[in-house]
Structure 1
Amino acid sequence: MTATMRALANRDMTAIIPGAGRGDEIGAMAAAVQVFKDSMPTALRSSRRLRRTVASSGAVAWRIWSSASGARSAGDLFRQAEQLSMEVDSFIASVRKV
């Protein structure tokens, strides 16, 4: 069981869980490890999505700063703010999906 848990911790999805189907405490532990193994693909996808979202947040922050610093007039700044507001709303929606 320990070797299987180590393999799963190293993202080895081929690891076989010993003791599955037993009616004792070992079987209960095996069932718990199986739940962990079954949830790993979803957890890994969520982790990758979160990393992409965090990376894109830096891009959004840079765009906000560079747009505000490059405004030539109040109207220009207002238009840029509206555009950025839509981008931020889109970013927030993507974070909520994670």
Structure 2
Amino acid sequence: MFGIIEEINMKNVIIRTFDMRRVVMPNSRFLKKAIKTYSAEEFLRLQVSVVVDINMDMPLVLQETLRVVNDLPFILNKQYTQVLLDSFDDKKAKVNIQLFFNPNS
């Protein structure tokens, strides 16, 4: 699970996930598993998949997606951003976007 810790109390920890859900986790879960603090990192790698219509101009989709992603202010190491065609069928294509970003921005 990924998110931002909003509250820690005697019984549980409240986490706000990136899709804005509020999750209450008992403290016992944190005693049994390691916790990774991503805010201590300078940058993180993220992969996002999107589905597009197969009839679109795929080279243009890949090129414009790369441009738009790299124009975002929190993207780091822009030379390593990748936009790749992953799979396709007769109706849709799956495109993977791999990027580095600052988790503290």
User: Which bin holds the TM-score, normalised by the shorter protein?
Assistant: under 0.3
Higher relative contact order (CA 8 A, sep 6+): 2
Under a length normalisation based on structure 1, what TM-score does the superposition of the two structures give?
0.27
Greater percentage in strand: 2
